[in-house]
Chain A
Amino acid sequence: MFSLHDRKLAQEIVFKIKKLDVKLKFMHVCGTHQDTLVRNGLDYLFRECGVNIVQGPGCPVCVTTPMEIEEIMLLAEHGKIIATFGDMINVPGEKHSLRDMRENGYAIHTVYGIEDAVFLAEKYRSRDVVFMGIGFETTAPTTAAVLLKKLPSNFSILSCHRVIPPALKTILDMGEIRIDGLIEPGHVSTIIGLKPYEFISREYNIPQVVAGFEPLDLIMAVWLLVRQIENRDALVENEYTRAVKKDGNIRAQEIMKEVFEPVDKRWRGFPVIPKSGLELKKEFDEYNARKKYDEELQEVWDKEFKEPRGCRCGELLRGLLSPQDCPLFGRKCTPDTPVGPCMVSIEGSCNIEFRYKKKTTV
């Protein structure tokens, strides 16, 4: 009922875009958009129409920094039970990954959501359980909602949640890449609505469309962006009206405000992005792993961690490269032997490219 199918309409739109003979670059910030684009060959199709679409920093696992990965691994080393989302455990750290640690007997669990992590804490009362909370505005409210409940005292959270709009601003301010339009992430937008994007259209004169995840959603989004450019408009349009309300999910926004405070945060491949991270407010110190275990964590906080050698994830996340531009893609770096997080995460552009195209740069 909520999927869209109309081949003829899709072809008609593509034909119209092609006729306009444009040369444009759009950015989206969502692994699921990238999946739809590559799986359906829309990336090629649009490129033939003169529209090049790149994936920006829209992969929560990928933008998590080496420091955050070392933080969670150190807590595992100190005997905590670690719970996090599936892909996270395969991200290579300086020495190893969480998966390697698990194979060596450390307690690393993957969970479907934060409530499963709380369940672990209830089950193993005598152990400390740390949930590594990653994800953007889609996931952050789930962490917030749980914090407002009564929680077991052996449970805490390492918050690695981030918000999208400040990252968009930083990409534009860095000015490394020309962006003619932005395709905004549908599911993040179900929470935040349209308003947080408005300053970008206003201040940077960039058209934006919030889009869903069917091929036709993205085809329509591209058409709406092209049409705005032809009309010299710069607006925030909503193509995904079946899920995204103008004001978003107000209750989720309020719960987030109650629990988190925005903090300056580094993203992989980026400098510190002002007010882009969500840290737990002071009232929740007893559930904040960075407060609860600050003495243990000091050891990693004093260090600097580098990106894996040869990995180009940083440039990829800033929209400067495509996976096939990386010399390691498909050779040294594959989903079974990932060098960087963009090959680990099923939302990472290298992983998506490999899964659907499996081509190397040869």
Chain B
Amino acid sequence: MFDIPLPVCLAVPGKIIDIDRKKEYAVIDYGDGTKRRVNITLVDVRVGDYVLVHAGFAIQVLNEKKASETLDLFRNILSAGEEK
């Protein structure tokens, strides 16, 4: 039998490519060729959104804007320290 060593606090990002009619499940594309059906009842999502998936559930929607700004934000924080 195959055992899945699931890290219990790990969640993996994926993109929603399809949502069922009852808005209960979505198909997630993990970007590495794997697709999976996950429960989306904990989040409010649309096709195209990126979500964090944990134990078969989407637990949070990822913020693309914040993701693209993170490195710049880090650089700013660092140079803010410089001025002091």
Contacts and interface: CB of A to CB of B under 8 A. Distances in A.
Interface residues of B, number: 39
Contacts of B78: 9, 12-13, 16, 223
Interface centre among A6, A86, A109, A185 (most CB of B within 10 A): A86
B8 A138 contact: yes
B30 to A, nearest CB: 12
A242 B60 CA distance: 10
Contacts of A224: 77
Interface string B48-64: 00101011110110111
A187 B55 contact: no
Interface in A22-46: 30-32, 35
A87 B56 contact: no
Interface string B1-45: 111111111110100000000000000000000000001011110
A31 B4 contact: no
A242 B8 contact: no
A142 B74 contact: no
Contact of B55 (A32, A114, A213, A244): A114
Contacts of B8: 31, 59-61, 85, 87, 134-136, 138-139, 347
Interface centre among B4, B70, B75, B81 (most CB of A within 10 A): B70
Given A141-B42, A252-B42, A347 B7 contact: yes
A251 interface: yes
A110 B67 contact: no
Nearest to A164: B9
Contact of A191 (B5, B59, B67, B70): B59
A142 B3 contact: no
A321 interface: no
Contacts of B64: 1, 242
Interface centre among B5, B39, B56 (most CB of A within 10 A): B5
B62 A187 contact: no
Given A2-B50, A251-B43, A187 B10 contact: yes
A108 to B, nearest CB: 9
Interface residues of A, number: 59
Contact of A190 (B52, B68, B73): B52
Nearest to B60: A190
Given A60-B9, A187-B9, A141 B57 contact: yes
B70 A9 contact: no
A346 interface: yes
A32 B9 contact: yes
A223 B2 CA distance: 41
Contact of B56 (A9, A31, A115): A115
B4 A85 contact: yes
B42 A145 contact: yes
A220 interface: yes
Interface centre among A134, A145, A242 (most CB of B within 10 A): A242
A122 interface: no
9 contacts: A2-B67, A4-B70, A31-B8, A32-B7, A61-B8, A142-B56, A190-B60, A241-B70, A242-B64
Given A85-B4, A224-B77, A243-B60, 16 more contacts: A1-B67, A2-B67, A4-B71, A31-B7, A32-B10, A112-B4, A113-B56, A113-B57, A142-B56, A213-B10, A223-B77, A227-B81, A241-B73, A243-B62, A255-B42, A347-B9
Interface of B: 1-11, 13, 39, 41-44, 50, 52, 54-57, 59-60, 62-64, 66-68, 70-71, 73-75, 77-78, 81
